[in-house]
Amino acid sequence: MIRQGGFTAEPWSVRETELDLERLPQAESVFALSNGHIGLRGNLDEGEPYGLPGSYLAGFWDSRPLPYAEAGYGDPEQGQAIVNVTNGKIMRLLVGDSPFDVRYGTVRSHERVLDMREGVLRRVVDWTSPSGQCVRVRSTRLVSFAQRAIAAIAYEVEAIEDEVHVVVQSELIANEELPGAGADPRAGHVAAQLKQELKEAVDTRAVLIHSTAGSGYRVAAAMRHEVDGPGQTETSIEAFTDLARLTVSATIAPGEKLRIVKYVAYGWSEVRSTPALQDQVSAALTEAGATGWEGLLAAQKEFLDAFWERADVEVDGDLELQQATRFGLFHVLQAGARAEQRAIAAKGLTGPGYDGHAFWDSEAFVLPVLTYTLPDAAADALRWRHATLDLAKARAQQLRLAGAAFPWRTIHGEECSGYWPAGTAAFHINADIADAVIRHHRVCGNDEFEREIGLELLIETARLWRSLGHRDAQGGFRIDGVTGPDEYSAVADNNVYTNLMAQRNLRAAAEAVEHHPEAAFALGVDQEEIGDWRDAASSIVIPYDELRAVHPQAEGFTDHEVWDFEGTTPDQYPLLLHFPYFDLYRKQVVKQADLVLALHRCGESFTQAQRRANFDYYEPLTVRDSSLSACTQAVVAADVGYLGLAYAYYREAALMDLDDLEHNVRDGLHIASLAGAWTAAVAGFGGMREDGDRLSFKPQLPDELTRIAFRLCFRGSTLGVEIEHGRATYRIIAGEPIEVTHYGSAVQLSAAAPASREIPALVRLESPRQPAGRGPRRQDS
């Protein structure tokens, strides 16, 4: 089966069976490899043609100015942008006197496969040069989970019909020419040029070291090779300012092969010296060489076998959805597995979109998945936030607030948003971070982590809310002038999502302080402050529209004029590219789930009738100009009984990038939406919620699927849940017994005693309609 997006539908692979140069930029993102530390776009081995070349390192950035027509107090002055670092992927090939380039000669066949069980990208191409010489090129590329500084390529050239002379040039290239970003604000800016500090080439090894002008970072890229060819194979190596090149030449007879294994190592720092980085990458190459190509492959598979054992999601009845769900999990893993106290960007390390910045996407969408599937990676992401706490506290002081004000968008920890209504005013990111801390403790039960990392994050975010809000004449605790998740509604009073999440933050901080009194005392917390947090939480204002019997997204929202959806043409979406924000801000139009997100994250604050009424009200207003929306709408649609609609939104979230639904995958994948596919399956159709120290489930299955099964980690055990029509089965796959609830009834589980329970029949309801032309999307619909 071949989808509109050009990839065959397979359960464990993403396969491209022909090369479509029009879709090359999208494929480069889809086929990107990363371990969270190093990211390599899926560019062709020979480097050209390309849509967007890209090699990225987590946390490696350069500064750029943020110009303002009219600067204001507190506006950030410097932005941060991810850097396209030294490219170690290049393997150029000369066949006879013709460079191997798919735009010339004849491509007889071309296939690329992203193997999600092996963790590699494979390519096979049969090509006839303009002069009639035929070769088969095979390559396998990996970015190692086991050795985080290492990427490796096995490159093989075989003569097919006649003897042929070939030359392979394996290169490191810095300061590649990049295409312009265009006018789309979601695309990334091009960072400044790198300055060379060292070049060296000897035997089959080379190293280039460069530095950034603004941020003061150094990056070292090094390569070494193993060459296996016919008897007269020759090699030479050289290095220049921005280029190091190993040249291998050989004459190969039909059936003979020239094989090169290339190991590439990266190291970077803002404090370490050039010699130290040179030694670092040299040591990494030595370790990789000792492990060998086959050893790296084996370690990659071993890592992924363990991951899928505790994290796999099985979807029966829709092969595309099965593939897309695993694709999403694989890229979430790639974004966070070895990030190790560096930011997880909205695009991961798959492209320069959004300048490589991390947003609230990380804590709100990505960390829930990592917490349940790779909890150590989630803990490291929170350690990164904790490491930026001083910067967040300084930002709060600049804003005349207490506690910590974490940045809306950043790489290093400073605020990088030049538009304060969507950036600075979106304070909910602080509660999203606190929520990730709360979830990690509930799921992992790690008191040491809570004391050393979580406690201070909870305290400083609670202090922010207490200083940001104020008492009204009726004694309510108000939080005015903030922007919630919906970026088409800015600087509003008492955004329901923000207030409910702040309430949770305040209460959790008080509980954590009482759990760790000595550590809290060292942070300056006393009983009066704890009481103040609890008092604010108990009286926080949650607006309700009695006339319409729904919760307004923020005070007054339901009194705004409704956007003219019928008068908006399909080519005017996303609205942010065609209408002024002023017009959007004063109308009832929702970019992405906001109040509906509150129904998911804070569902206990609403009755079932309120959740359905609210969902029905906001569904016709939500245009989903953000990839963050569909997964949340899937969860809440399933919760209130619209299973067919939930299924459609699940598909949209999962297929966001494979089908390029937002038409911007060239700039990188939508990691939060890919994470949202897991959320749609587990929290949507699994009905999973965190219920104190237990997990609760209310599973339902849509007619379109015959079965969903998923695995997750909880309190050191691996739990398996299988959902079929009318029945759910729970089992402990590994670990100690735990208790869960099924539709409110306790279920005791152990490895020896799985439990099956009936799923109550659901009353089928007709789901609400979306704005004209904004129903759940597929590229071929």
Write the DSSP assignment of 252-314 as a string of letters: E-BT-EEEEEEEEEEEEESSS-HHHHHHHHHHHHHHHHHHHHHHHHHHHHHHHHHHHHHH-EE
CB under 8 Å, gap of 24 or more: what pairs does 333-336 form? Answer: 333/307, 333/373, 333/374, 334/32, 334/33, 334/34, 334/35, 334/36, 334/39, 334/143, 335/34, 335/36, 335/366, 335/671, 336/36, 336/366, 336/370, 336/374, 336/377, 336/378, 336/380, 336/381
Look up residue 726 and give its DSSP letter. T
Angle between helices 375-387 and 389-398 (to 10 degrees): 50
Phi, psi of 743 (to 5 degrees): 50, 40
HEC profile of 449-471: HHHHHHHHHHHHHHHHHHHHCEE
In order of 357, 407, 409, 490, 553, the CA distances from 424 in angstroms are: 15, 7, 9, 11, 19
Q: Which of 46, 171, 320, 487 is catalytic?
A: 487
Angle between helices 375-387 and 428-444 (to 10 degrees): 140
Side-chain half-sphere exposure of 245, counting CA atoms within 13 A: 13
CB under 8 Å, gap of 24 or more: what pairs does 412-415 form? Answer: 412/59, 412/61, 412/80, 412/215, 412/343, 412/388, 413/387, 413/388, 414/76, 414/78, 414/80, 415/76
Q: Is 487 among the catalytic positions? A: yes
Phi, psi of 326 (to 5 degrees): -70, -35
Would you say 491 and 421 are in contact if contact means Cβ atoms under 8 Å apart? yes
Would you say 379 and 436 are in contact if contact means Cβ atoms under 8 Å apart? no
Q: Which two tokens stand for residue 446?
A: 């790690």
Angle between helices 629-640 and 643-654 (to 10 degrees): 160
Tell me how far the alpha carbon of residue 103 is from its chain's centroid. Answer: 33
Would you say 739 and 750 are in contact if contact means Cβ atoms under 8 Å apart? no
In order of 110, 309, 469, 482, 483, the CA distances from 487 in angstroms are: 43, 38, 21, 11, 7
Contacts of 493 (CB under 8 A, 6+ apart): 478, 479, 480, 481, 482, 554, 555, 556
Please name the residue that has the structure tokens 């990996």. Answer: 142
Where in the sequence numbering do the catalytic residues fall? 487
